[in-house]
Structures are given as C-alpha cells and as structure tokens.
C-alpha cells in the first residue's frame, strides 16, 4: 500500500505470487486503489517474470524460493530500466548466509546469488542493508 501511495497516476504496480490466496488477500487490501494501477498475477514467479516486458520496470522486489534466485536476478536485469532498483529480501537467510559453516542448499543458493550480483559491477551497484533478515539492494546500470 505504501508503494501505491507514492506512484504517479499513470504508474502500475505488478505483483506476482504463487499462492492464489495471497493474491485474493492483496485484492481485498488494495480495494481502495484504482484497479488501473494494480496488476496482481497468480502463478509461478520465475515463469511469469519471463513473460514481462523488457526495460519496463523501475523497481523489482524479490522474495521467492532461494533456488530460483539467480535466475530471477537475471530476469530482473532484463525487466528493469537503467537506474531501476532491485530489492531482494531475506538476503541474510535468517542469519545463515554470513556463517561459512552453514552449508544447506537454501543458504548456499542465497549466498552464491548475492555474491554473483555483488561481483557483477558492469551491470549492478549493490548494497546490503543488515536489517531483519537483510535486504540486498541493487541499482541497474
């Protein structure tokens, strides 16, 4: 809702969620806003990201299965305009990512995706905000 309050009148908020119930609840919560500013899509996020228009987005927020994170970052680069912002929540993986002893599949996937994103300095500028479970913020160059 906070994002919608700051949008220009011609801007559109697109939200993708694999859970149809989450989309239903979002529709209820956002009922006071013009439907022309909201596009809620139920389905596989990674598959649906691939169908969205290149360079048409100012911001992408990711919170999805960590095993899909690297592919979603690549799709996000394609979707974002130059100067667009990528937000990745749970970037610290419940505090496990900074601990090299943590070697479970999810932690490794988050760690490797974050490392790749931070090292890709020809396409991104990044910063990690260590609040909660961490937010990795990347600016598309």
Residues 3 and 61 both lie in one domain: no
Q: Tens of pLDDT along the chain (141 residues)?
A: 788 888 888 889 999 999 999 999 999 999 988 888 899 999 999 999 999 999 999 999 999 999 999 999 999 999 999 999 999 999 999 999 999 999 999 999 999 999 999 999 999 999 999 999 999 999 999
CB 77 within 8 A of CB 52: no
CA 59, 52, 45: angle at the middle one, nearest 5? 80
Say which CATH number the domain at 140 has.
3.40.50.150
Into how many domains does the chain fold?
2
Strand positions, DSSP E, the chain: 13-17, 38-42, 57-62, 80-89, 124-129, 135-140
Domain containing 37 equals 1-43
Residue 48 lies in a domain: no
pLDDT score of 9: 84
pTM over 0.85: yes
The pLDDT of residue 36 is 87
Residues 106, 124: Cα–Cα separation, whole Å: 23
Q: At what angle do helices 105-119 and 69-79 cross, to 10 degrees?
A: 30
């Amino acid at each position: 809702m906070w994002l919608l309050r700051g949008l220009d009148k011609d801007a559109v908020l697109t939200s993708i969620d694999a859970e149809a119930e989450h989309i239903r609840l979002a529709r209820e919560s956002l009922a006071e806003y013009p439907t022309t500013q909201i596009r809620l899509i139920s389905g596989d996020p990674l598959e649906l990201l691939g169908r969205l228009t290149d360079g048409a987005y100012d911001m992408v927020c990711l919170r999805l299965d960590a095993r899909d994170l690297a592919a979603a970052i690549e799709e996000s680069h394609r979707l974002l305009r130059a100067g667009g912002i990528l937000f990745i929540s749970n970037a610290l993986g419940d505090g496990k990512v900074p601990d090299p002893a943590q070697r479970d599949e999810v932690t490794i996937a988050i760690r490797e995706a974050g490392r790749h994103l931070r090292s890709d300095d020809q396409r991104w500028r990044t910063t990690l905000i260590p609040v909660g479970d961490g937010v990795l913020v990347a600016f598309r160059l």
